[in-house]
Structure 1
Amino acid sequence: MRVKPLRRHGMTVLVSLIPVSYASAVTEQDFLARNTQELINLCTAPADDPLRVAAVHFCTGYLVGAYHYHESIYSGPGSQPLVCPPNPKPTRQQAITNFVSWAKAHPEYNQDRPVDAMFRYMIEKWPCQR
């Protein structure tokens, strides 16, 4: 990050030049969740963003819903789940925070569908013993 001094009316003001992907506010387009970056934007909405409450709830609902669907599909006898979380499972917030950190560390998946990135993360983190 570069910091550049700016002089106005005899005062020095510091202006931060932050990449747009981390500084931008949530947009209504992010709620389409077409790719991982849009979902991460929702999950990390700044505290002062007017859409923060809706964004964080959408993020949580999306991720929990996708995981519950996985649990439902692989709940029958003889099923082989894609992921096997530890017992006890991490809290919902821990799991979301860890996924967001992983996604930020793997920008190569920013344009993938969020559910694909989520399961890529979980398979890497909690693989099942076969």
Structure 2
Amino acid sequence: MMSPTITRTIRGAGLAVALAVAGAATPALAQGQAAGGAPAAFTTADLARLCGPAADDANAMALRPACYAALVSIGQVHSLYTSGRNAQRPIFCLPEQPPTLDVVSAAFVSWAAANQQYSTTRAAEGVLRFAAQTYPCPAAPAGRRR
């Protein structure tokens, strides 16, 4: 079971991911529709395919911005939830010198391939699980809690 903090962050990130992906519709995504033309759930595996298309994929250049938009959107929603007066404890903490989107997307693709048990989870959940493992936060001092 996921913690309430992760669940709240995922709910908020879901809208951001949906908007990011809706603006980047490609033939590869258009094929993933449920019955009645409704969009299928956007999963961790779907995002990994956007972030790491095969070299011979004719849509590779068109997919990269959609990948970046999803990663940035999820990161920004996480930032909104973890700053300000009612801040939640962060799920991940980027290093002082943040990695480039190329580095993050490649690492996410590798993580998704190694963690296929999350392939059918929502993309936002997959990204947050990846980020928590890849960019863990330092342990909070024992006397300080949020």
Q: Give the structure-1-normalised TM-score.
A: 0.70
Give the match for residue 21 of structure 1: none
Q: AA paired with 1:54?
A: A
Q: Which is further off, 28-37 or 91-100? A: 28-37
RMSD: 2.3
Give how far 1:37 is off.
1.1
More relative contact order in 1 or in 2 (CA 8 Å, sep 6+)? 2
Q: AA paired with 2:80?
A: S
Give the match for residue 64 of structure 1: 72
In structure 1, what is the Cα distance between the partners aligned to 2:76 and 2:45?
Answer: 22
Q: AA paired with 1:68?
A: Q
How many pairs are equivalent? Answer: 106
Which one has a larger percent helix, Structure 1 or Structure 2? 2
* Structure number with bigger Rg: 1
1:118 is the counterpart of 2:120: no
Contact 1:103–1:110 (CA under 8 A) maintained in structure 2: yes
TM superposition outliers: structure 1 runs of 4+ over 6 Å: none
Which one has a larger percent strand, Structure 1 or Structure 2? 1
Give the match for residue 98 of structure 2: 89
Give how far 1:64 is off.
1.0
Give the match for residue 39 of structure 1: 47
In structure 2, what is the Cα distance between the partners aligned to 1:77 and 1:119?
Answer: 22
Of 72, 82, 85, 1:74 maps to 82
**Can you give the 5+ residue segments of structure 1 that lack an aligned partner in the other structure?**
1-24
**Can you give the 5+ residue segments of structure 2 that lack an aligned partner in the other structure?**
1-26, 33-38, 141-146
In structure 1, what is the Cα distance between the partners aligned to 2:84 and 2:131?
Answer: 20
Contact 1:26–1:49 (CA under 8 A) maintained in structure 2: no
* Seq. identity, %: 30
Contact 2:48–2:108 (CA under 8 A) maintained in structure 1: no
In structure 2, what is the Cα distance between the partners aligned to 1:60 and 1:32?
Answer: 20
Q: Give the structure-2-normalised TM-score.
A: 0.63
